[in-house]
Structure 1
Amino acid sequence: MKISEYAVKNYQFTLVIFLMVVALGFTTITGMSRSEDPEINFPTFPIVAVYPGASPADMEELVVDPIEKRVYGLDNIKKVFSSIKDGMAVIQVEYKYNSNVDDKYQELVGELNALRSKLPSGLARLEVTRTRPSDVNVLQAALISETAPLATLKKEAEDLQEELEKVPSLKNIEIQGLPAQMVRVDLQLDKMAQMHLPIAAVSGSLESEIANIPGGTVNEGSKSFNIKTSGNYKSIDEIRNTVVLSREGRNVLLQDVANVYLDFEPAKHITRLNGHRCLFVVAAQKEGENISKTQQSYLPVIARFKKVLPPSIDLQLHFDQAANVNKRLKGLGIDFMIAIALVALTLLPLGLRAATVVMISIPLSLAIGVVIMNALGFNLNQLSIVGLVLSLGLLVDDSIVVVENIERWLLQGHSRMTATLMG
């Protein structure tokens, strides 16, 4: 017995299944994860090697060839290809698609660590990079001010970063456009000349203060304590109070011969929003999360933070990926209603019963599709939404053809049951 024949002859059972599938589809589509792009992790890992001063030929001989030889000995390797420039090489390692991404990444990192001692000692960087679709930023907020000092903008950006880090579904909250902070020491050469203090003495004092030197081990009974000198400065006052010279029982401090203050390194890039000076705070979403629910979590945080900002600083959320996803889902709902309306207009001449049956099949088929997608691990994204819209068009077209064929069998004198099974 065919499935369609069983469903038609046992309509009570079919009705119960229909209600269950629609309810399951509704709960699934409201609870399943949503994102702009599909969550696909390709087993491809770029290996980045930086060897300053090396020519492409040296990079190939000393770095790339040993790595490629080691990588080719691994299992499930599909392809390895390299790009070499002066002092830099990128080796793309591609595994077979059915490989476990996490396991292969750990395997590749382990092999590189084992090979590291056989590579040139001047290698400045050697790492395996890993990209995920979920690393794409889902929000970008701008702290805008033309007059506020950079230190004030930095503090407010760090406070916003800290607040967003409390949202469980967000990750990789970063500040963009902020130069690295540094301690600047401006030597007063006239005072140093009066004291006959050379510049090398000042730099040597600072270097000795920040050095971490092992001091050996102290044994106390059954316990052993490791000792080392910690030269990490904890505040700018400690730097100012660094002793740079001892003479005639008097200590000369750094602040006596220099101005010491916090500053920022020269800007390497400039961030602007609509031509206005700003800092950006960006964040990505963790895998498997619902971007609509994530938006409901971070929008109140941004709104509260905006209220406590100084008058000279404005906060604008100028990119919100959740709005794009919600817009596409809204478009799917509109297409859904248009499909039902078209079916009603097309099939009403054949009777209200025929039109109602087809209109009911539309949400049923979409519910089945959403449930299967969720069971297979797919989420709602721009590609799956486009697929649902296309399937909606095919579904409406096929439903109209089937109903018209059933009507044709009825006009030829067949019973309703026979015409339905033949349709």
Structure 2
Amino acid sequence: MSSFQEKVVKKIKEFGLTSWSIDNRTAIYIVAILISLFGYIRFTTLPKEQFPDVVVPTISVTTVYVGNSPKDIENLVTRPIEKQLKGISGAKVNKISSTSQTDYSLIVVEFDTDVKSEVAKRKVKDAVDKATKDLPNDLTSEPDVQEFSLSEIPILFVNISGDFDPVKLKEYADKIQDKVEELPSITRAEIVGAPEREIQINVDPYRMTAAKVSFMDIENAIVRENMDITGGQVEVGNMKRTLRVKGQFKQAADMSTIVVRSSARGASVYLRDVADIRDTVKQY
């Protein structure tokens, strides 16, 4: 092989870009720095979420049945609904998962990405309707079918129990809810299965007749007394203070002294004279 041919072969084997990079190291350093700087800027400005939304057709079924253990919720509520959900046709279901807590059932149905959310929700709603006949008749609330977002997944369940009356436990739950919602990373905290306070006024028709009191008299008296009234403003030095007369009832005993009716001779009929007042919880 001649010397000319050897030079041609050597030139062909030589990688031009590598040689240029070696000969122009300063330019390569500048390009590398610019690329790194651009990547850093893009990384720092890229939106980031701790729990990013993932677009997957997902439907949730939530049911509240107060007064039942997780095992009872599983057998009475979750399984009958799951049975119908597994029979969904016309839309590909990738996964069905469920959680049975005290007083609460959550079922999550994940469809294939090709299924539209509206179709998925309708399919789940139809399946839940079929399962209604197998569910208890005294459910606290009917199964609620909603389009599910991963950002709505509860990240923590807190069960509150103790040797207290239900109303007191609800007060503790309210305080915990307020504290949790103060945390900057928490969007919302919900109380599920808590008893709802109810003040019952059980009127006695015979005592009402004897006192010449009607149901309308009782209703009007309660509405009239159970309110806060603004009394205007007063000046205190260089400041103005708003006066408010607080009249809303906080306990059942406060209602016993409501004047239901006054006679022309000055005699008054109190609510306690015609009704028994109880501070209790709402029965479902």
TM-score with structure 2 setting the length: 0.41
Higher RCO, 1 or 2 (CA under 8 Å, sep at least 6)?
1
Name the structure with the higher helix share: 1
